[in-house]
Amino acid sequence: MTDQKPITVTSPLLPDLDSFDGLLREIWDSKWITNNGSFHQRLEAALAEYLKVTCVSLFTNGTLPLLTALQALDIQGEVITTPYSFVATTHSIWWNGCQPVFVDVDPATGNLDPDRIEEAITPRTAAIMPVHVYGRPCDTARIQEIADRHGLKVIYDAAHAFGVEVGGDSILKAGDLSTLSFHATKVFNTIEGGAMVMHDPAMKKRIDFLKNFGFASEVEVVGPGINSKMDEVRSAFGLLNLRQVDAAIEARHQVAVRYREALKDVEGISCFQDIPGVRHNYSYFPVFVDEKKFGMSRDALYFKMREQGIYGRRYFYPLISSFSPYRDLPSAAPEHLPQANKMADSVICLPMHHELSTEAVEKVLQTIKSAQL
């Protein structure tokens, strides 16, 4: 371990403190600090415009909109999902009393493999919950075609996909509902926070009821809702961060360009390339270690980097399907999920954020290259 500042996988985008102070004073003056206040309303409108979608409903994190999406669509039975994600994706299915059914991923994208979805559909299947992992778009056209043919709902966990566009159109328009995470570690953050994206005001109204205990009026509860309202302080924080998110994404882009350029000749290390026509958000920079070709295991490299003060992360290892609540499901068997297991066993997400210095990027690259020698 060196004495230098650790190089962490990410660093939060923070608003200018004086500007935030100004908004805090407005909130203090108004004495309205939560429950659909003016900053909450302003952030929902600003996000809908930025994300090019019809409606946005803010949540207090990125997990509760997943739970609420399944509630809103009244999903019961089996939900087809990916094991290669953060554990919240599958937890949301379990919390709704549904059974997760894991389907393998396509190694070209890391996302649910459309070729494998149909064989997992049974008479009990009610929905598909794919994840745009690392912000890389799922094959939404094929997933929708399968869902339509079998009468299934599609809920995208778009926690990583803030601002991602395909052919100039938001990826969040796909499926019945999409959810976002605004956690501190995300491209756009409200400290903790999240949102649901829906296609019509009637659905937004229903979701807004459900995130407020199901209250439709002072005296009427229309569903078994939950409390998942974002407060005014974090909404104001989000409004300020939205102003600088494009610059943050561009800074991340430059880091990705340098990583790719320097790693292209490193035997045994591979990474994803940008997809033509896609606006990427560079939320993560996963690399995959081929132990035989690189001459060192993924874990050996991971710990070697840590010794140098470089704290990448093995997102998403272990696979969700290997965690104790899920490992006994028939669909969790490793032989059923070869590609997901291979990715989980070889991935390291390199440090990637808007203020990663050139020196830090070069140190990461040098550490990888010298590990191989």
Q: Is 162 helix (H, G, I), strand (E, B) or coil?
A: coil
End-to-end CA distance of the chain: 20
Q: Contact 218/74 with Cβ under 8 angstroms?
A: no
Smallest gap, in angstroms, from Cβ of residue 293 to ligand T4K?
A: 28
Pick between residue 294 and residue 363 the one whose CB is nearest to ligand T4K.
363
Interface characters, 68-87, with ligand T4K (x: CB under 6 A)? -----------------xx-
Cβ burial 117-150 (10 Å sphere, 16+ → b, else e): beebbeeebbbbbbbbbbbbbbbbeebbebbeee
Q: ω before 318 within 30° of 0 (cis)? A: yes
User: How many residues bind ligand T4K, per CB under 6 A?
Assistant: 24
State the minimum distance, in angstroms, from the CB of residue 307 to ligand T4K. 16
The span of 2-10, 147-155, 256-264, 268-276 binding ligand T4K (CB under 6 A) equals 2-10
Helix (H, G, I), strand (E, B) or coil at 130: coil
Write the binding mask 141 to 160 for ligand T4K: x where contact by CB under 6 A, - elsewhere.
----------------x-xx
Can you tell me which residue has the tokens 């459900």? Answer: 210
Counting contacts by CB under 6 A, is residue 321 touching ligand T4K?
Answer: no
Residue 91 Cβ, how far from ligand T4K at the closest point, in Å? 9
Q: Of 37, 62, 100, 163, which one interacts with ligand T4K (CB under 6 A)?
A: 62
Residue 295 in the binding site for ligand T4K (CB under 6 A) = no
Query: Minimum distance between the CB of residue 261 and ligand T4K, rounded to whole angstroms?
Result: 25
**Shortest separation between residue 70's beta carbon and ligand T4K, angstroms:** 13
Footprint of ligand T4K on residues 167-206 (CB under 6 A)?
181, 183-185, 194
Q: What is the smallest separation between the CB atom of 162 and ligand T4K, expressed in angstroms?
A: 12
**Max CA distance (Å), the chain:** 70
Nearest CA among 250, 272, 229, 264 for reference residue 137 = 272
Residue 318, interface with ligand T4K (CB under 6 A)?
no
Query: Which one among 162, 237, 282, 315 touches ligand T4K, defined by CB under 6 A?
Result: 315
d(CA 145, CA 140): 8
Q: Which is nearer to ligand T4K, 81 or 144 (CB)?
A: 81
Task: DSSP for 280-345, please give it.
Answer: -----EEEEE-HHHHTS-HHHHHHHHHHTTEE-B-TT-S-GGGSTTTTTSGGG-GGG-HHHHHHHH
Among 57, 63, 82, 140, binds ligand T4K (CB under 6 A): 63
Could you tell me the CA-to-CA distances from 111 to 30, 65, 99, 101, 282 in Å, in that order?
A: 45, 20, 20, 15, 16
Q: Angle 38-51/17-30 helices, nearest 10 degrees?
A: 130
- Residues in the site for ligand T4K, rule: CB under 6 A? 8-12, 61-63, 85-86, 88-89, 131, 157, 159-160, 181, 183-185, 194, 311, 313, 315
